[in-house]
Structure 1
Amino acid sequence: MSLRQIISTHRLAGWVSGSLLALGATFALVAHGTAETAVAIPAPAMDEPAPSGATSETAVLSGGCFWGVQAVFQHVKGVHRVVSGYSGGAKDTASYQQVSTGRTGHAESVEVTFDPRLVSYGTILQVYFSVAHNPTELNRQGPDTGTQYRSAVFAANDAQKEVAEAYVAQLDKAGVFAHPIVTKISPLTAFYPAEDYHQDYATRHPENPYIAFNDLPKVDNLSRLFPALYTPKAKLVSAGTTN
């Protein structure tokens, strides 16, 4: 069980103490060294064509703990809604307790609903590869390990698949990362929303050392590297769909 799973399970049970969280933060620092740093990367050379009347599109992405990935995209202009959940496995095993075993085939994922007139799918991927996670880590992100934390793009259609594959090839050829990208691009079969207590977690628990150390820096990196895309107010699941 990862540090994050321990914190989440204990918080759900209602008996996480401040001392345990402080100990967890120290463990994360020792185990991983520093929080992931963002990498400035070029925009995708290939993107989806301009939409003809469409006002909504979804992207399903996995990149480690869904708390932090959700938090990043909740601050992106043009994004309507971001839901934490599970993709890659069956409906009957789409629960946190089962996914956390790493044996269900699921990855912790986020479903990003966005307006393609305001932010393109390619730009969503640029944020994903640059800020939301490290695409060169295999079956892990930061202090969390297991296939449920893998880097994965679940393409909703052929256009998304082509854009994602071309972008990975572009970034690898440019050598913007020190190691090859390991992101797996697969067809989207289903997305299952996670339990309510996981939604908007980073915004609701900024004092959690795991969030402060691993996730809030990602939001800061978004504002620094993508100032034109950044919006200070998070679009929360609990607040409903907003622009």
Structure 2
Amino acid sequence: MKRFAPLIAAGALFATAACQQPALAAEKVVEAPAAAVKSKEGNGLKTAIFAGGCFWGVEAVFSHTKGVTSAVSGYHGGTKRQADYKLVSSGVTDHVEAVKVTYDPSVVRYDELLRIYFSVIIDPTLKNRQGPDRGAHYNAELVPVSAEQRKVAAAYLAQLKKTKLWDRPIVTSISPARKFYAAEAYHQDFAAKNPRHGYILRWDAPKVAALKRLYPSLYRAEFRRN
């Protein structure tokens, strides 16, 4: 069994139920093509929501992405009462684990975040699971929060479906934006606080390394803390 770092708050012990399953074959890294439709979101910080399995890895990758000013782990799709880790990880809620990303589109565009997401964060051919984790709360979903993001996301999904990058059909979907609820404090910046945690080393550190290797111009060594 993987163990948490000794200084983690007692509440973090609940996290042993999720983001922790028997080791499987390494996840495949695929260099997705640049988006044919570029996002045009204007000036000022923007937000977007990405669900892609355990939120630790999604947050870790985007926290190492230039232009991202905040990446918050949380829950999307269900109610406020359901926004509790024990409930969500039991699979009885309408939530998926998700990350709310705030970014500067003058540094990194939404379509570039999509490219990173499909290249190193998820396997878009999997439904209700990612990596070693199983359950509908680990489903990979794009959650655009504006008409422009929805247009770009739909165009990029259509573009990817015409490629032969994956052996199986793409099933990642676009979900309507609902209220996002931040996860418990012990989940925030989890990879940065626990770099030697077994799950982080096995599943999430390789994703950050792939970001650096594939997109060096968008990689930031400093972890962006919330």
TM-score (norm 1): 0.84
In 1, distance between residues paired with 2:76 and 2:41? Answer: 27
Specify which of 48, 59, 76 is matched with residue 70 of structure 1.
59
Question: Corresponding residue for 2:86?
Answer: 97
The answer as to 2:78 corresponding to 1:86 is no
Which of the pair is proportionally richer in helix?
A: 1
Query: What is the match of residue 44 of structure 1?
Result: 35
Residue 198 (structure 2) pairs with residue 209 (structure 1): yes
Q: Does 1:55 align with 2:44?
A: yes
Alignment check: 8 A CA contact 1:63 1:135 kept: no
Write the distance in 1 (CA, Å) between the matches of 2:217 and 2:50. Answer: 22
Alpha carbons 1:28, 1:210 under 8 Å: kept: no
Q: Deviations 1:88-147 (Å, cap 9, x if unpaired)? A: 111111111111111211000000100011111000100011111211111001111000
Task: Count how many residue pairs are aligned between Structure 1 and Structure 2.
Answer: 220
Cα distance, 1:13 vs structure 2: 3.8
2:145 aligned partner: 156
| RMSD over aligned Cα atoms | 2.3
1:192 aligns with 2:181: yes
What residue in structure 1 maps to residue 22 of structure 2?
A: 28
Matched AA of 1:40: E
Identity of aligned residues (%): 45
CA distance 1:50–1:98, change in 2 (3 Å): closer
Aligned match of 1:131 in 98, 112, 120? Answer: 120
Q: TM-score under structure 2 normalisation?
A: 0.91
Counterpart residue identity of residue 28, structure 1: P
Give, as a single letter, the amino acid of the residue that structure 1 aligns with 2:176: P
Contact in 2 for aligned 1:157/1:187 (Cα 8 Å): no
Task: Tell me what 1:240 maps to.
Answer: none
| Structure 1 unpaired stretches of 5+ | 238-243
Unaligned runs of 5+ in 2: none
Partners of 1:95 and 1:57 in 2: how far apart? Answer: 26
| Amino acid aligned to 2:86 | Q
Cα separation, partners in 2 of 1:236 and 1:87, compared to 1, 3 Å: same
Change in CA separation of 1:14 and 1:106 when aligned onto 2, cut-off 3 Å: closer
